[in-house]
Structure 1
Amino acid sequence: MSTNPSPSSSSSSSASLKPYAIGAGVAVAAGLLAFASYAATKPADRDATEAAPAAPVSAPASAPSDAAPSAAPGAQEGLYAEAAKLARRDAKDTLAAGRADAPVVLIEYADFQCGYCGKFARDTEPALMEKYVEKGVLRIEWRNFPIFGEDSERVARAAWAAGQQGRFWEFHRAAYAEDAKEKGFGKDQLTVLAREAGVKDLARFGRDLDGAAARQAVKRDQDEGFALGVASTPSFLINGRPVSGAQPLETFTAAIDEAAAKAKAGR
């Protein structure tokens, strides 16, 4: 099965990408969200914390513009509620961590070649796992969003393939290790990473990596991100509320705590 070309490949191929069908309500929300123009904290707060910027994406012509129109607070909350519907909450999803019925879902759109995605994976995500996921408050759902060409597409498929043997998060950790990106993500190196991650059937891993199911799964995630208006990596939704970039841990804990409180209050 053919995949959409990476947006970094050419402007003409980017323009040919079509939005992922994410439902009428969420599609309306997507036009106002535009990740690049919004983060969980106010601009002054972000400047004070010197948050790491996100890697830019050359968004397709069909994606929303970076300058999202303003909306009243009540309208924004409605949009966030629509975007929250993108959470799949599939108990069999091997690229997710946490209870399917957790009150808060963090959706992460990321590329294994993105340096700031690696920073989040190493510096922030483990703390969120310990503080929230292990206690049943948070579910993290990964979305492959490859933007840096063939190697990004290949390692995204490899991560999915590792997940088919229950080793996605171990592969995720290996692929985001400090020196992993510098070694590249050729097929031989992906096998090394799979072995490090504890993938037992490496022959199956190789077949799955190149199979149609892996390509379809990556394309599904990628199309969803483009349709939503993801304009940089890493980008996140926390119960539908967008956060852009490798923000400090405190930004995520504040957003998760707020989302958990609202969920408990039934709002």
Structure 2
Amino acid sequence: MSTPTRNIPNKRVLLIVGIALAALLVGWLSQYAATSGGDSEDDGAAATVEEDTNDDQDGGSSQLAALERRDADDPLAMGDEDAPVVLIEYADFACPFCGKFARDTEQELIEKYVDEGVLRIEWRNFPVFGKDSERAALAAWAAGQQGRFWQFHEAAYADEDMVKKGYDKARLTELAEEAGVKNMDRFHRDRRGEQGRKALERDRQEAYQLGATSTPSFLVGGEPIAGAQPLSVFEDAVESAADAAKDAGDDGSGAGK
């Protein structure tokens, strides 16, 4: 299957995106703060951005969709690179709400949309809880270099007490072994290497440019969603984005993926 060529946005593009969408993202994060209250263990924290049909927000969605990498060789992504909809997840392995999303919602999305070729999920490491978060992010990246990122992801989030256990070397080794990483020497070398650090910083700076300050944060077809929202929120977002991509393709605009 032939796929469109996509380039990873450079810093200038990200800066333009940040400026162009400042009002939209401030509104998003303000709504997040207003609705979360810091004590919603059931919902994660926050609400989706309300739909707005004005031209500025439509343009903003297109700019955000440009952050989709659609790299067939990305080990931190799953699903067809030319799927109609891309979900970008900015998350932290030490974040309990990220774990809640992984356990309660993500698998449902995989079975319903990724496996059917409708959705692609692209992970971005966004460690916000300090050195422990960074160690886990780098270890997950290192597991990905041996094709075991998603297995590491599943192992790390399987335990609801992950935050209490932390991510020291012994814990990371245990998770890598559980994920099926074969070459442990390479795993530890990669997680300490400069390449992994650069990849982490690229992801983190992308999140900061968007104005994200907490995890998990998402873009679904270029539309932001904040927090570990119920499955229905993501289903609505995916189906809306899929319909929009289909309409764009039917119009002959070339915007459909």
Partner residue in 2 for 1:237: 219
Decide whether aligned partners of structure 1 residues 26 and 152 sit closer, same or farther in structure 2, where only a CA change above 3 A counts: same
In the alignment, the residues of structure 2 paired with residue 215 and residue 121 of structure 1 have an alpha-carbon distance, to the nearest angstrom, of: 24
Partner residue in 2 for 1:108: 89
Summarize the alignment of residues 19-168 of structure 1 with structure 2, pairs less than 5 Å apart: 20-23=11-14, 25-34=16-25, 35-38=28-31, 51-53=43-45, 73-168=54-149
Alignment gaps of 5+ in structure 1: 1-18, 44-49, 55-67
In the alignment, the residues of structure 1 paired with residue 170 and residue 206 of structure 2 have an alpha-carbon distance, to the nearest angstrom, of: 30
Partner residue in 1 for 2:243: 261
- C-alpha contact (below 8 Å) 1:170/1:197 kept by paired residues: yes
In the alignment, the residues of structure 2 paired with residue 23 and residue 186 of structure 1 have an alpha-carbon distance, to the nearest angstrom, of: 33
TM-score normalised by the chain length of structure 2: 0.83
Question: Which whole-Å deviations, capped at 9, do the CAs of 1:46-77 have from their partners, x for residues lacking one?
Answer: xxxx73216xxxxxxxxxxxxx9x97622211
Q: Secondary structure at the match of 2:127?
A: coil
In the alignment, the residues of structure 2 paired with residue 118 and residue 91 of structure 1 have an alpha-carbon distance, to the nearest angstrom, of: 26
Match of 2:185 among 203, 211, 235: 203
Q: Secondary structure at the match of 2:112?
A: helix
In the alignment, the residues of structure 2 paired with residue 247 and residue 183 of structure 1 have an alpha-carbon distance, to the nearest angstrom, of: 25
What amino acid does structure 1 have at the position aligned with 2:54?
P
Partner residue in 1 for 2:165: 183
In the alignment, the residues of structure 1 paired with residue 123 and residue 223 of structure 2 have an alpha-carbon distance, to the nearest angstrom, of: 16
Alignment gaps of 5+ in structure 2: 1-9, 36-41, 249-254
Figure out how many residues of one structure are paired with residues of the other and give that number. Answer: 226
What amino acid does structure 1 have at the position aligned with 2:242?
A
**Higher helix content, 1 or 2:** 2
- C-alpha contact (below 8 Å) 1:122/1:177 kept by paired residues: yes
Question: Which whole-Å deviations, capped at 9, do the CAs of 1:20-64 have from their partners, x for residues lacking one?
Answer: 54445423334133242357xxx7xxxxxx73216xxxxxxxxxx
- C-alpha contact (below 8 Å) 1:20/1:223 kept by paired residues: no
TM-score normalised by the chain length of structure 1: 0.80
Root-mean-square deviation (Å): 2.1
Question: Which whole-Å deviations, capped at 9, do the CAs of 1:63-99 have from their partners, x for residues lacking one?
Answer: xxxxx9x976222111011110000000000000001
Give the superposition deviation at 1:220: 0.4
Question: Which whole-Å deviations, capped at 9, do the CAs of 1:100-127 have from their partners, x for residues lacking one?
Answer: 1011000000111111000001000000
Identity %: 55
